[in-house]
């Protein structure tokens, strides 16, 4: 989608490839505000934070294990990831400009005025209805770029189906990141 500048990367566990991280690193500098849907360990967030010193970043993720069978007194993996993510923000000295919203995409979208953010990066749920819902919720909120992960991935074909139907002919791609400039 654009000329990439090198990003030294991170070794956080996640699904983003190096060229995709580099894209996020480069695009962050062009935005005043970014909402990321689906943060997990913060692999993509690290690139967004590193790419700019001033961009306001909102990280949306419920960090909630779906495994009902986990013993109640055991700290869940999601809780562990959440705490690790907060630790990462601290070590990057990024706490002031990163707002953590521990909730779902749909609930978080209600907190934002229309046209109040420059970019949204959608990497939460990947099923058809969820992707549709994310796009419908967030499109009105965005000024410049609506984007997401896992476009043209065999394991989650619904992403491409929904994105192509909604933005026919306007979709730009970097790795498996899709984006539509508004």
Q: Lay out the site mask for ligand SAM across 18-37 (x = CB under 6 A, - = otherwise).
A: -------------------x
User: Taking CB under 6 A as the rule, does residue 125 contact ligand SAM?
Assistant: yes
Taking contact as CB under 6 A, which single stretch among the options 41-49, 135-143, 158-166, 171-179 is the one that binds ligand SAM? 41-49
Query: Nearest distance from residue 144's CB to ligand SAM, in Å?
Result: 20
Give the Cα separation of 11 and 3 in Å (integer): 23
Among 51, 124, 148, 175, binds ligand SAM (CB under 6 A): 124
Tell me which of 4, 15, 99, 143 binds ligand SAM, using CB under 6 A: 15
| β-sheet bridge partners, residue 60 | 37, 101
Among 57, 60, 131, 159, binds ligand SAM (CB under 6 A): 60
Nearest to 125, CA basis, from 160, 162, 159 = 159
Mapping DSSP to helix (H, G, I), strand (E, B) and coil, where does residue 56 land? strand
Residue closest to 84 by CA, chosen among 116, 42, 51, 118: 42
Number of residues lying near ligand SAM (CB under 6 A): 19
Task: Please report how close the Cβ of residue 124 comes to ligand SAM at its closest, in angstroms.
Answer: 3
Distance CA 2, CA 172 (A): 10
Minimum CB separation of residue 16 from ligand SAM in Å reads 4
Among residues 62, 148, 175, 179, which is the contact residue for ligand SAM, using CB under 6 A?
62
Q: How far from 159 is each of 113, 162, 176, 178, CA to CA, in Å?
A: 25, 5, 10, 9
* Residue keyed to tokens 């229309």: 114
Query: Which part of the chain contacts ligand SAM (CB under 6 A), choosing from 50-58, 59-67, 87-95, 163-171?
Result: 59-67
38 part of the interface to ligand SAM, by CB under 6 A: yes
Nearest to 47 by CA among 12, 77, 74: 12
C-alpha to C-alpha distance for 173 and 105, rounded to whole angstroms: 23
Binding region for ligand SAM (CB under 6 A): 14-16, 37-41, 43-44, 60-63, 104-105, 123-125
């Amino acid at each position: 989608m654009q000329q990439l500048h090198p990003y030294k990367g991170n070794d956080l566990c996640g699904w983003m490839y190096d060229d995709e991280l580099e894209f996020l690193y480069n695009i962050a500098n062009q935005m005043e505000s970014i909402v990321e849907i689906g943060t997990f360990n913060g692999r993509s967030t690290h690139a967004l934070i590193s790419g700019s010193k001033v961009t306001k970043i909102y990280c949306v993720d419920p960090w909630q294990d779906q495994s009902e069978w986990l013993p109640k007194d055991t700290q869940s993996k999601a809780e562990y990831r959440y705490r690790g993510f907060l630790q990462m923000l601290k070590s990057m000295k990024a706490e002031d400009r990163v707002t953590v919203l521990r909730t779902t995409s749909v609930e978080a979208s209600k907190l934002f005025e229309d046209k109040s953010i420059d970019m949204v990066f959608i990497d939460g749920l990947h099923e058809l209805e969820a992707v549709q819902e994310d796009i419908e919720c967030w499109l009105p909120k965005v000024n410049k770029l609506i984007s997401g992960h896992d476009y043209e991935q065999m394991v989650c074909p619904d992403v491409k189906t929904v994105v192509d139907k909604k933005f026919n002919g306007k979709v730009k791609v970097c790795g498996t990141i899709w984006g539509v400039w508004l």
